[in-house]
Amino acid sequence: MQSEDHKKQVLQALERCLEKDRAKTKITEVSSLGLVEMTRKRTRESLEHILCEPCSACGGRGVLKTSESMCLEIFREIIREVRQYKVQKLLVLASNSVVEMLLDEEADMLAELETFLGVQIKFRAEAEYNQEQYDVVLL
Ligand SMILES: [Zn+2]
């Protein structure tokens, strides 16, 4: 493979073959030793792409907000709804872990909120809700 033309032909043939390969590849120029370096992205990733879908709980982010931050988010939502709709009773639907925390660690905060807003807040754990799902229902 002495001539530049031959080198070019080899590279072009290689590139044509690689176009059919769905995995990402990179090839370099022919080196002084007549070698072509080629890197190929691992196919495990494309298999993963075929066999998997984004996690419906986290939307593919790979993380979920903690129960604690969900409690705060729900408190903010309650305040917003009470101010906007002037209701006296609310029902909060949330995941088991979030409802558990609201009624345990956050119970004091919750009692304060009820007094402060003059509302009664009820909770229902929804087994199929993930940690980030909740609904505030006006009663
Ligand atoms: Zn996830």
What pLDDT is stored for residue 59 in this prediction? 85
What pLDDT is stored for residue 2 in this prediction? 67
Q: For 31-67, how does the pLDDT look when each residue is reduced to its tens digit (9 = 90+)?
A: 877 787 777 766 666 777 778 888 888 888 889 999 9
Q: How far is the centre of ligand 1, averaged over its atoms, from the C-alpha of 59 (Å)?
A: 6
Q: What is the pTM of this model?
A: 0.61
What pLDDT is stored for residue 127 in this prediction? 94
Q: How far is the centre of ligand 1, averaged over its atoms, from the C-alpha of 72 (Å)?
A: 21
Q: How far is the centre of ligand 1, averaged over its atoms, from the C-alpha of 41 (Å)?
A: 24
Which domains occur in the chain, in start order?
A: 4-51 (no CATH), 67-138 (3.40.1260.20)
Q: For 87-119, how does the pLDDT look when each residue is reduced to its tens digit (9 = 90+)?
A: 999 999 999 999 999 999 999 999 999 999 999
Q: How far is the centre of ligand 1, averaged over its atoms, from the C-alpha of 74 (Å)?
A: 21
Q: How far is the centre of ligand 1, averaged over its atoms, from the C-alpha of 81 (Å)?
A: 29
Angle at 66 between CA 88 and CA 58, to 5 degrees: 105
Q: How far is the centre of ligand 1, averaged over its atoms, from the C-alpha of 107 (Å)?
A: 28
pLDDT of 1 over the 70 cut: no
Q: Higher confidence at residue 24 or residue 69?
A: 69
Q: How far is the centre of ligand 1, averaged over its atoms, from the C-alpha of 29 (Å)?
A: 42
Q: Higher confidence at residue 72 or residue 26?
A: 72
Angle at 127 between CA 98 and CA 50, to 5 degrees: 100
Query: What does the buried/exposed string (b/e) look like for 8-37 if buried means 16 or more CB atoms within 10 Å of the residue's CB?
Result: eeeeeeeeeeeeeeeeeeeeeebeeeeeee
What pLDDT is stored for residue 84 in this prediction? 93
State which residues have CB under 5 angstroms from ligand 1, the bound ion.
55, 57-58
Q: How far is the centre of ligand 1, averaged over its atoms, from the C-alpha of 128 (Å)?
A: 15
Cα 53 to chain centroid distance, Å, stands at: 11
Mean pLDDT within 130-138: 94
